[in-house]
Amino acid sequence: MEGRLTKLALKGDQRAFAELVELYKDKIYHLAYRMLNNRHEAEDIVQETFLRVYRNLDRYDDKQKFSTWIYRIGTNLCIDRLRKRRPTYSLDAEMNDQEGIDGYSMIPSDNVTPETELLLSETQRLIYEAIDSLPVKYRSVMILRYLQDLSLQEISDVLDMPVTTIKTRVHRGREFLRKKLEPKM
């Protein structure tokens, strides 16, 4: 289905491309939101991902799953974004002259309204915090494994790494999360 849509989109069919956007926007948004923990940046990533998909439609290889391709683009954009973010400031470092203001308050605030905040259960919040505390190389693997329900082989295709590496990372990531969540369970 995606193969047919990409071919139509390549011929200039805007509606076919819009269908691709509908199919994948939520998945990419979820991926980016969990990777970056910021709504604005996540939407930026979704937009950039589809722009790249559109520009490179002629380079899309039919033998590859479309989902693998778009996840690769999205994941790489997230990792790039995180890489650029880190050296500029450390989130936990307090600013010199303003007391009590750290990096977290510098990130554009999430537009989570109090109502949606309430809907977020305590358990969910705990898991999200645990995911956010994962090192990036484990975070991307765990998000692809659980939030996108990809198999180990698919994750290895997306990240272009051997399956054995992915397996080790899933095991360590799961161990890490277990230790974070265990005292609260």
Partner 1 sequence: MECKLAVSMMHDYLDDDLPELQQRELKEHLLSCTDCRAKFKELEQTDMLMFSLMHQSPVASEDLVSRIMNSLPQVKKERAFVTWIKRHPALSAASVFILVMLMSSVTFWNQDRQLVVRGTDLEQVVIQGNTVIVPSGKTISGDLTVENGKTQVYGEVDGNVTVIDGSLYQASTAHISGQVKSIDQAVSWLWYKVTNMFSEVAYR
- Residue range at the interface with partner 1 (CB under 8 A); choices 59-67, 79-87, 95-103, 148-156: 148-156
Task: Give the phi and the psi of residue 94 in degrees, each rounded to 5.
Answer: -80, 145
**167 lines the binding site for partner 1 (CB under 8 A):** yes
CB of 86 to partner 1, least distance (A): 23
**CA torsion angle 44 91 118 115 (round to 10):** -50
Nearest residue to 144 via CA among 22, 35, 12, 53: 35
CB of 63 to partner 1, least distance (A): 21
Q: Is 167 helix (H, G, I), strand (E, B) or coil?
A: helix
- Residue range at the interface with partner 1 (CB under 8 A); choices 62-70, 82-90, 94-102, 124-132: 124-132
Task: Give the phi and the psi of residue 26 in degrees, each rounded to 5.
Answer: -70, -40
**61 lines the binding site for partner 1 (CB under 8 A):** no
Residue from 6, 33, 69, 75 that binds partner 1 (CB under 8 A)? Answer: 33
What is the DSSP code (8-state) at residue 62?
T
- Residue range at the interface with partner 1 (CB under 8 A); choices 59-67, 86-94, 99-107, 168-176: 168-176
